[in-house]
Amino acid sequence: MVKLSRGIYTLTDSGNGLAERMLGKHRILEVFLGILGFNQLETHVYAHELEHVNDLVIDKIYNMLGRPRVCPHGNPIYGKPEGVRLSKSYPGRVIITAVAELKSVLSFLASNKISVNDTLTVIRRRRGDVTVDFNGRQIVIDESIASGIVVIGTR
């Protein structure tokens, strides 16, 4: 599952497979909890508590949900989101495709009423912070938050 090489621990192929399966279970549960009416932060917290449920239960929930491709935070059920981190994006219009499931990121987005699939206009990046326009409001996003937001450019 884990190997040690030159003082660095890495996952083996089987370890990566197990980690990916656990993330998938977590994200399936987030979709399910969202349908039950929980907000994005709650879905993450409660999915974490439930993610060790039997694979058969998860598979049945996944099929019942119609085999969704992404969780409420925009992350693919299996795999990695497409796009670049907002902290590395260039000025222009971008669409949020996924967000890190961290309390700091989710709380910031909720307090600014920003969600996955919203469009932002990146005005500038300065010392890691990103200034965006969202619905006519200029918002300065700290690098620690901006690095947890995945975006794609628009044409």
Q: Write down the domain spans for the chain.
A: 2-64, 84-153
Torsion of CA 46, 51, 57, 60, to 10 degrees: 80
CA dist., res. 59 & res. 50, Å (int): 14
84-153: which CATH number, 3.10.450.100, 3.30.465.10, 3.90.1150.10, 2.30.30.90? 2.30.30.90
Please give the average per-residue pLDDT across 122-132, as a whole number: 93
More confidently predicted of 6 and 109:
109
pTM (predicted TM-score) = 0.81
Residue identified by tokens 């450019």 is 153
Residue-wise pLDDT for 39-91, tens only, equals 988 998 999 999 899 999 999 999 999 999 999 999 999 888 889 999 999 99
Backbone angles phi, psi at 36, to 5 degrees: -75, -5
Angle made by CA atoms 46, 109, 43, in degrees to the nearest 5: 10
Strands 84-85 and 92-99: unpaired
Alpha helix positions (H), 13-53: 13-35, 40-50
CATH architecture of 2-64: Orthogonal Bundle (1.10)
